[in-house]
Structure 1
């Protein structure tokens, strides 16, 4: 290790700025037992089990104004390749790779693959639960005109490959994105405003490809007042998708009360507008949290908005939370009661009850040391006939999900070269 430090000392000896180089490693295996995860398991189907693993290497360099970050990862499932392998099925990929330059204490720009994460991550988040995470190839400008004000503006334009003429964009993602986020703090109260425009290519009836745009806009407010804390958000969506008009909205409220230094009780609700199953207008009335960290909201079993439930009957989620947290151990119980916000009809066209089901989530974690943690969880879904209509499967069968995850996250080394006079 001393040799490494000496190498960087020689490398940085001609700079005027203090410089830092860091290297971190994360190894995160997770075992899951899936007996109704994401959808109701059919009567004669057997549950699935697997172990996935994230292996991520994070390198960072920074000085007074320049920052460069590289985060590469390999996402595998144990056994997806033979023990004597020439190569893995899941190859090494980039999670983050960007350069950032801060022209002044109040202004910076960042270019490259990066995480766009804001507020409670309801609309834009890192999706840390997913082994692969979520990042964007984008350019970002961040301006802080005052200590309690910040404006971020980001833009992205995607292509599938280098070409000499215009080519269709066939990746399952947006073709271009523009985003502006403004935040201000007043004492212990925060206010955020978001506007995002996302363009998606689609095939027309004439086999041409066009770009439709969805606008997502709204506000988020969080507060702390004594033992009370909480947040509220409201967003709308307009524009068009696949040549269909979009008119949708969302609102959410979360309140927490600190019972003691370790115990917190909370309750909340979220409402997503939906489209009636017998709707014939052709309009999309279903709100979609496009890039949110959805696993953390509408139940850990991911029945809603985790790669599913788009352009569907919407959702009303009423939930509670009871949690215990210390420096090493945490535990939580979180029940959800789900209903649709739009009409559900059966195959004969008869309108059904809006109640979808109740889910109970249990989760716990223990930190052995700062770079080693274990987390476990168990969830059970009690589905209704209406959920069976939406998802298929058998509501009367036991539907549950259990998991255990280890997180190894050591810092390999961190070197800081103090500011020196150039030679």
Structure 2
């Protein structure tokens, strides 16, 4: 119920006659009305994402069968009494439907990293005004192609960050972002164990800037200072153009250097470690599309250790999006990794989209054959808010001396969003 000026006058008069009790009741009513007003202006979202995953590895492990579902409830409230101030809340639950023949839930099976768990995945306050956005709290963060910083959105439980960030877009063609991260909440089930550390404290600073030089060229520079691990310092060029025959070309080139860490973290598992690091990263890609057809080639190198302690690695990346969907190279081999890939796809509104990608993997140092992989994915909108995905990854090992084994993975997934 909305209150007019006369309503407030009446309350004031009654409070004089009846004492403080009415004043307290009026304040409580106003508070309730204020909360109701905020809730009524909220933007709510729902995602339900059931998925079946099958894993067949050429080893002693039993084949994995996982039927899991991600349920996400989110809300954003823009009306908090201050123009530009907003709050975001999000809860994510991962459950299975009794088909849990996968590790680490069931030992002896191949791993599917979708353990049952419930978590607050976003809880932050933000303020936006005149091109400036400041955020404090827990949120997802994806930068560029998620090669270095990502949310690991492919897995059912996303990776999120506890941070304070500022972004500024008040200068034409220039985007600036800086963030201080004190916590990383990874995809793994905190209660189950058996995989990697589910979350950790950190003392990390992320700096990112991009400038659109011209319609065909955007330059991005970054410095990701991951405490007690290393610094990523890099530059990236992306762009595209349309040829006279209608073919759309897109390209990218990137180089990054991994140096000794500028910052340290005192808590486990880092304990103020200051490892020496000296590794390089390169990526070059070219793709074209015309009348629904897409083709492209990409060459990526995660360099060997050089004079440092370990090869180039990206521990905060959305790793599934890179180096093959079979996830064989979530950790970079000691001799580094070269990944030469080609892709071919087709899509339209009636048929949907299909994409095939072939990878050839080799070492950066020496001449180790790490094998090859063929990936394929088909997506189609079943109805307005429902997508279907069929996906497969088939990895074939290379040199017998490596620890990798032939691996096949298949998925059937539906994604409903509201």
The TM-score normalised by the length of structure 1 is 0.74
Aligned-pair CA distance for 1:285 = 4.0
* Structure 2 CA distance for partners of 1:213 and 1:365, relative to 1, 3 Å: closer
Aligned-pair CA distance for 1:236 = 0.9
SS in 1 for 2:379: strand
* Structure 2 CA distance for partners of 1:266 and 1:238, relative to 1, 3 Å: same
Give unmatched runs, 5+ long, in structure 2. Answer: 1-32, 101-114, 186-196, 243-247, 262-269
- 2:221 corresponding residue in structure 1: 193
- 1:389 corresponding residue in structure 2: 402
SS in 2 for 1:390: coil
- 1:51 corresponding residue in structure 2: 67
- 2:11 corresponding residue in structure 1: none
SS in 2 for 1:175: strand
* Structure 2 CA distance for partners of 1:14 and 1:257, relative to 1, 3 Å: closer
Q: Does 1:146 align with 2:171?
A: yes
Maintained 8 Å contact 1:356/1:384 = yes
Q: Does 1:125 align with 2:144?
A: no
Aligned-pair CA distance for 1:213 = 4.7
Mapped partners of 2:325, 2:314: distance in 1: 16
* Structure 2 CA distance for partners of 1:232 and 1:34, relative to 1, 3 Å: same
Maintained 8 Å contact 2:260/2:274 = no
SS in 1 for 2:169: strand
Mapped partners of 1:365, 1:152: distance in 2: 33
Maintained 8 Å contact 1:288/1:311 = no
Within the candidate set 70, 95, 102, 1:76 is matched to 95
Q: Does 1:218 align with 2:241?
A: no
Give the root-mean-square deviation of aligned CA atoms. Answer: 2.6
Give unmatched runs, 5+ long, in structure 1. Answer: 1-9, 82-88, 161-169, 200-211, 344-352, 411-423
The structure, 1 or 2, with the larger RCO (C-alpha pairs under 8 Å, 6+ apart) is 1
Maintained 8 Å contact 2:305/2:312 = no
Mapped partners of 2:200, 2:299: distance in 1: 29
* Structure 2 CA distance for partners of 1:80 and 1:333, relative to 1, 3 Å: closer
Bigger Rg, structure 1 or 2: 2
Within the candidate set 358, 361, 364, 1:338 is matched to 361
Within the candidate set 191, 204, 208, 1:177 is matched to 204
- 1:106 corresponding residue in structure 2: 131
SS in 2 for 1:231: strand
Q: How many residues align?
A: 340
Aligned-pair CA distance for 1:174 = 4.9
Mapped partners of 2:337, 2:213: distance in 1: 33
The TM-score normalised by the length of structure 2 is 0.75
Mapped partners of 1:159, 1:381: distance in 2: 30
